Chains A and B, each alone.
Chain A
Amino acid sequence: MIGFVKKVIRNRLAGLGLVVLFGIILLAILTPLLPLAPPNAIDTPNRFVLPFSDNALLGTDHLGRDLLSRLLWGTQLSLAVGLAAAFIAGFFGALLGIVAGYMGGRTDSLIMRSVDILMAFPYILLALAIVAALGPGLMNALIAVAVVNIPFFARNVRGVAVTLAQADFIQSARLSGRSDISILVFELLPNVASVIIIAFSTTVGWMILETAGLSFLGLGSQPPQADLGSMLGEGRAALITNPHTSIIPGIMIFLIVMGINLLGDGIRDALDPRLAKGQLEKPSPLTRVSDGLIQSPPIVSTASKAVMDVNHLSTNFEVSEVVNKAVRDVSFSISSGECLGLVGESGSGKSVTALSLTRLVASPPGVVVSGSVRISDQELISLPYEGIRAIRGRRVAYIFQDPLTSLHPLHRIGHQLTEAMSTHSRGADSVFVERAENLLSEVRIPNPERVMDAYPHELSGGMRQRIGIAMALANDPDIIIADEPTTALDVTVQAQILAILNDLRQQRGLSILFISHDLNVMAQICDRVAVMYAGEIVEMGRASDILEHPKHPYTAALLACSPQIGQGRQSLQPITGMPPTGHEPLNACAFANRCSRVQPVCQQQPVEIIDMDSQLVRCLFPVVES
């Protein structure tokens, strides 16, 4: 609770709202105890006394009643009525919304269409009609305001309840034997509570205004009882001659509503998961590079024919003071026409490595802290934004796991392909269209002309990944970075995509950095494989060597626990324990705690990577086959 309040007042204006509102509510509560004149005592000779007079601090009204006393009593009444209306509207609205969202079908249609009808009337007319039917009076005004606001709650809550009703945890509660009512109350309600509170905090102010509006029209509180609306109404006749009689209740209404709204915004920010810390910050288009590194760009010309050369690359995630070392001192190179596999489990740093290459890691929180990435002698880590832009897509292209997320849903495939080309080269549209169609047939899409006119959602997963590959090829890059390109696909489609990538490599001499968690897939396409664990490369070498004769215990364990086809029923040997988090520096072998070959010395010092029969291994006691 205290944490929540802290979160709310982190928003300064919400804090201000809280203070103002707290003060007003305190005054309203203390009103009966304060030494005030009776609010309804008429003293006509002293009418329209100005504020700051001897007997009346805020002056008197047209009947000589003390304005301060009326103001405080009126505030108390207005707050009570507004809050009561909000509670009633919130209760019934949320009830209708939850039931409609959870039950679905006919019940949903019936409830929501009734709510829609209610919403079709202008709210003040509806409120007037209700008061006209029930007769004037504060109670009836309260009912009218509550009814008018039910639809707002119902619609908000229903929207969330509909999605939640299909959620797995609701289904499993049903399988655990919970009844519908029990699911509504114990499973669904706690999860929509924040929506109800947000809706409540943003409408209370509005409802106080509406109640005041009805009273102003003489339909709410009846004389001589004071509430803020009726005080305004009474003061209106003397607006020109004695403005203080209207200004004073007006200011009070303003303060209450402003306080509530500011606080409501703060509550919404604190409760809304989408607005949780930092997510609204716009990440920069380029991963930040730590200062020390940018001053000394390593300009070394390598004699190798590597297309991409990565040396001592390290990337951190820095959230306030917490540093998570996602990539630690990674070095590799890819030569022309070669496919290098980067394999590891989730959290091993393989994707962050891939994104760091063209500095695509979201910043904040990503920071490249050391290393260099060269593409034919051009250093990418120290390159300014314009330079990197010319590289991305042109020299280095990416293929992601789900192309649906990287394709624009509202543009046709053809448009997206030609647009990708026109950002990097000039030419006539017809040339681009022809090139795009050629690309589509190169990734074995039957009738490319028709696919050019399709939208991404009209295509199957396998077709979309072909488009993804065609997009990557659009500017004839030197190297393609494929991040789990077949993970979301069915095996039969996966086999086709792998075949396409393999062909492209042979025909175009394309280099591929292939990232996957699946060793079996690696075996299909990679010449060399680098195994990552806890942000480090632990083993690197020829694919067949590593996959068939692993030297690092982690690689061996990973292979032993992935089931193989054609082995029949088998017991797998799981790796016990969890990988280390990236928070602490590695003063030992990262795998030591889970390793079956561990020796005391493994826990005492970081392990360097060594060359063993043209295979790089980061292990003091590598697996040697007899």
Chain B
Amino acid sequence: MTEQILKVRNLSKSFPVNRGWFGFNKRQLRAVRAVSLSVHKGDTLGVIGESGCGKTTLARMLVGLQSPDAGEILIDRQHLHMLDSVQRGRAVQYVFQDPISSLNPRMTIGKSLETPLRCLHSLTSAQRKAAIIDIIDAVKLPVDSLARYPHEFSGGQAQRIAIARALLAQSPLIVLDEPVSALDVSVQAQIIELLTEIKQKFDLTYIFISHDLSVIEAVCDQIAVMYFGEIVEYGDCSQILMDPKHPYTRLLASSAPQIGKLLTAESGIGQLPDPLDPPGGCSFAARCRYATNECIQLPTPRKKTGNSNYVICHHPILNHE
């Protein structure tokens, strides 16, 4: 087994919310609670969940854009919070959902791409130029892109530029936050193909965050299913999607539209619990048709469901129905 490149233990994050006059009565809005996971070198971990499940907060903590309230992040056995910004940038990079907004509108692409080389690797101007030409070629952009500004590019091209910038930082780990959800289907396929290609070429490890189960399935080795700030099911991607053990994973899988299969919609409203007042027991209990009293009252246990697979549920669906 290859070595772990990322290890996350008990990561939690809440945001203070001002309620009432003059911000007295401060309350905590729970975003991520007690998330633990690990990723092996060369793997792709998919993080899936619906809006409000905390996947973006988790991603931003993994690259140090947000600091956790509790828990620790180890990248290559180093604590992320001990690294300075240069070491951090060399250890892990991030690709944003909206590629155009992740590029400075007043800066040419060439300038934007130079930044990581100058600030993270202190290369000379000639070295920078050579490295950029190489990468521009790897992400299949024309060389004349360098003199142009972000607004001159389509979404797909801009995402290539953003990927190129992450590559130039030469970090072995890249967090991709919904990298294809703003793109058209045909462009989405191009970017997924590109990501697969450069992963092999540069020996990368990905954390791939998405709300789209079919995209996750197409690219990931492992999957972490998040619901209301917690990982509810984790393990081998194809095993879990073939046979989801957590009722929520099953709901997600059955809600995704497919050609040739008619959906059955969830009854009820299907809303998340109030993040300002999270329930004591299982957060999914209110929507779950297997829920019993213990789900509502007791903390939810973690159960092993396979080699490295686990589920956090009182009543996982263990037999094929």
Contacts and interface: CB of A to CB of B under 8 A. Distances in A.
A214 B212 CA distance: 66
Given A172-B162, A187-B107, A574-B189, 8 more contacts: A177-B85, A460-B271, A493-B270, A494-B257, A561-B186, A569-B237, A574-B186, A574-B190
A548 B258 CA distance: 11
A567 B115 CA distance: 40
Interface string B252-278: 110111111011111001110000000
Nearest to A575: B186
A568 B189 CA distance: 15
B224 to A, nearest CB: 17
B50 A492 contact: yes
A168 B184 contact: no
A571 B190 contact: no
Contacts of B119: 176-179, 182
Contacts of A562: 185, 188-189, 214
B169 interface: yes
A173 B115 contact: yes
Contacts of B103: 169, 172
Contacts of A570: 217-218
Give chain A's interface residue range (CB within 8 Å of chain B).
35 or more
B320 interface: no
Q: Most B CB atoms within 10 A — which of A492, A517, A567?
A: A492
B257 A177 contact: no
12 contacts: A169-B104, A177-B120, A178-B119, A190-B104, A490-B51, A491-B252, A496-B270, A566-B217, A567-B218, A569-B220, A570-B218, A574-B186
B259 A523 contact: yes
B291 to A, nearest CB: 16
Contacts of B269: 446, 462-463
Interface in A405-457: 446
A181 to B, nearest CB: 12
A587 to B, nearest CB: 23
Contacts of A494: 255, 257
Given A169-B104, A460-B271, A572-B189, A565 B93 contact: no
Contacts of B242: 566
B120 A176 contact: yes
Nearest to A524: B257
A187 B119 CA distance: 14
Contacts of B256: 491, 520, 565
A276 interface: no
B104 A191 contact: yes
Across the A-B interface, the 10 shortest Cβ-Cβ residue pairs: A177-B119, A561-B189, A490-B50, A499-B265, A574-B189, A572-B189, A574-B190, A168-B102, A190-B106, A563-B214
Q: Most B CB atoms within 10 A — which of A167, A177, A547, A566?
A: A177
B263 A569 contact: no
A345 interface: yes
Contacts of A109: none
Nearest to B266: A492
B214 A172 contact: no
A175 interface: yes
Interface string B237-252: 1100110000000011
A573 B189 contact: yes
Interface string A578-613: 100000000000000000000000000000000000
A191 B107 CA distance: 10
B213 A491 contact: yes
A16 to B, nearest CB: 31
B229 interface: no
A258 B189 CA distance: 58
Contacts, number: 195
B219 interface: yes
Nearest to A561: B189
B109 interface: no
A495 B102 contact: no
B137 to A, nearest CB: 17
A171 interface: yes
Contacts of B94: 171-172, 175
A143 to B, nearest CB: 33
Contacts of A364: none
B96 A177 contact: no
Nearest to B219: A569
A521 B262 CA distance: 10
Contacts of A462: 269-271
A491 B50 contact: yes
A174 B94 CA distance: 11
Nearest to B269: A446
Nearest to A564: B214
Given A169-B101, A346-B184, A446-B269, A568 B193 contact: no
A63 interface: no
A323 interface: no
A544 B93 CA distance: 43
Interface in B151-194: 154, 162, 165, 169, 184-190, 192-193
B65 A499 contact: no
A176 B169 contact: yes
A544 B193 CA distance: 28
Contacts of A191: 104-106
Nearest to B88: A175
Interface string A448-477: 000000000000111100000000000000
Contact of B255 (A169, A460, A491, A571): A491
B215 interface: yes
